Amino acid sequence: MIPLKRRKVVPTGAGNTGSEETSPNKFPQVVLFLLERKMGASRRAFLSQLGRKKGFQVEELFSEGITHVICENNSGDEVIAWLESQVRGRGRATAHLLDVSWFTESMRAGRPVEILDRHQLQQQIREVEVVVFSAPSYACQRRTTLDNHNAILTDALSLLAENAELSGEDGRGVAFRRAAGVLKGLPEPVTAVTQLVGLPCLGGHSLRVVKDILENGASCEVEDTKQSERFKVLKVLTGIFGVGVKTAERWIQEGIRGLQQLQDSGRTLNRAQQAGLQHYEDLNQHVTRSEADAVAAVVEEAVASVLPGARMTLIGGFRRGKLTGHDVDFLITHPEEGREVGLMPKVVSWLESQGFLLYQKTTKNSYLEGEDGPARPSSNMDRFERCFSIFKLTEEVNGEGLKPWRAVRVDLVVSPISQFAFALLGWTGSKLFERELRRWAGHKKAMSLSSHALYDNTQRRYLRASSEEEIFAHLGLEYIPPSERNA
């Protein structure tokens, strides 16, 4: 403790000796404290004396009255940790945390200079502090909402994925999709590649693309791909409903470069492709949520009319909460096993009779339930009764001059109630999430998952489930709701 007498003479603390010249406190709003840590005791004593000479109040001990903490060679984290240990139980100190440069500049100026960003330790932490992200490897272990903080990066990687898929390089496509999937789930924008060191699925190629974008604002590879004639033509041609990569490739080899040329070439197109070409513009325009709801109302009515008690569920991207989609997907079932048999043709007839269908193609279910479970899936192909269709959707609200309807792609799937949970999980997506669920099942659990069933290779039996939650539980995964499956 400082003797009372002395305090009277030297109100600014014990570091001062009576022999030293001090000016009266000229700046009552400013109470300084110099942190000894890393500054050293002698330099601290020297700077304190200097401050007092210039008329500053410099305290020896830290207290809540301190307005400015002066530090040298300390990181913001270190100072905050130290402060917290000092003010424990007395509330968080609100003092400015300043670099010694503020002090020396103030000494030079003979008054407290304005606090600039460069003086502030807190500011420095924010710049220095780098969040290093981490995430589990499988997309089905992660929660990926639609709130993507790295759309610029994921769009670029998705474009490269698309290009790889259009070039028949599916492996590369998956790698880019996985990399994009990881970035989609990050809680904030990436600012430096060093933040990504601990993340899975980011290979050298993807990291290079990310680095180019972060450092230069764009990736040459992505820009070149976007501009490439081949990519552009492939996108246009595969953008025709019913045209896959192989057909598009063949046409390109035959010299076809666009829609007009295709039409003029007199190529024989199948029914799907004819419809695709005819409604090209509509089908390449996003379906909105309200259009999806309008389609849902129609399908609901169709289902209720042909089989009362049957249930219809919106699946695909719209179930995940997306606001737009390339189509609208529905899963139909009946709570009594077997009642769903023959349902699809009836629904389709009803829709056709009401004039809702511009095109439809139904495929049969060849996936039958045996005595002790569903037939073993031989591949990941789905064998549900399924209808690919193009709806003629009348638009309720119409601006003048707009045509009164538009073409919308609609996928209908019928499943028996015993497989409903698997179908629901399998058709909700995203495609990457599904792929990762199957990969997880196979690699981590020795199980085979399809949209029909889950087979345990160790126990050599099917695992039943009547909800998505049960399937996640069988797989040893935390339940992820649809809105968080947007990997």
Shortest approach of Mn ion to residue 177 CB, angstroms?
16
Q: Which is nearer to ligand UTP, 56 or 427 (CB)?
A: 427
| Spatial distance between the Cα atoms of 190 and 180, rounded to a whole number of angstroms | 13
3-class SS at 324? strand
Q: Which of 54, 322, 383, 452 binds ligand UTP (CB under 6 A)?
A: 322
8 A C-beta contact, residue 443 and residue 432: no
* Strand pairing report for 369-370 and 373-374: antiparallel
DSSP 288: E
Phi, psi of 332 (to 5 degrees): -120, 140
Q: Which of 251, 391, 420, 427 binds ligand UTP (CB under 6 A)?
A: 427
Shortest approach of Mn ion to residue 324 CB, angstroms?
10
Q: Which of 327, 382, 385, 436 binds Mn ion (CB under 5 A)?
A: 327
Residue span binding ligand UTP (CB under 6 A) among the ranges 204-212, 298-306, 325-333, 343-351: 325-333
Q: Which is nearer to ligand UTP, 327 or 436 (CB)?
A: 327
Tokens 């407290």, residue located:
112
Active site residue 329: yes
Q: Which is nearer to ligand UTP, 291 or 434 (CB)?
A: 434
Residue 233's nearest CA partner among 205, 262, 211 is 262
| Catalytic residue from among 147, 327, 372, 456 | 327
- Specify burial of residue 359 (Cβ count, 10 A radius: 0-12, 13-18, 19+): buried
How many residues belong to the site for ligand UTP (CB under 6 A)?
A: 15
HEC-encoded secondary structure of 146-171: CCCCCHHHHHHHHHHHHHHHHCCCHH
DSSP lists the bridge partners of residue 388 as 361, 411
Residue span binding ligand UTP (CB under 6 A) among the ranges 71-79, 153-161, 314-322, 343-351: 314-322
434 lines the binding site for Mn ion (CB under 5 A): no
Tokens 């809540």, residue located:
64
Size (the chain), residues? 487
Residue 185 binding: pick among ligand UTP, Mn ion, none (C-beta 5-8 Å cut-off by kind)? none
| Spatial distance between the Cα atoms of 46 and 55, rounded to a whole number of angstroms | 15
Query: What is the footprint of ligand UTP within residues 199-258 (CB under 6 A)?
Result: none
Binding site for Mn ion (CB under 5 A): 316-317, 325, 327, 329
Binding site for ligand UTP (CB under 6 A): 316-317, 322, 325-327, 329, 382, 426-427, 429-431, 434, 451
Which residues are tagged catalytic? 327, 329, 411
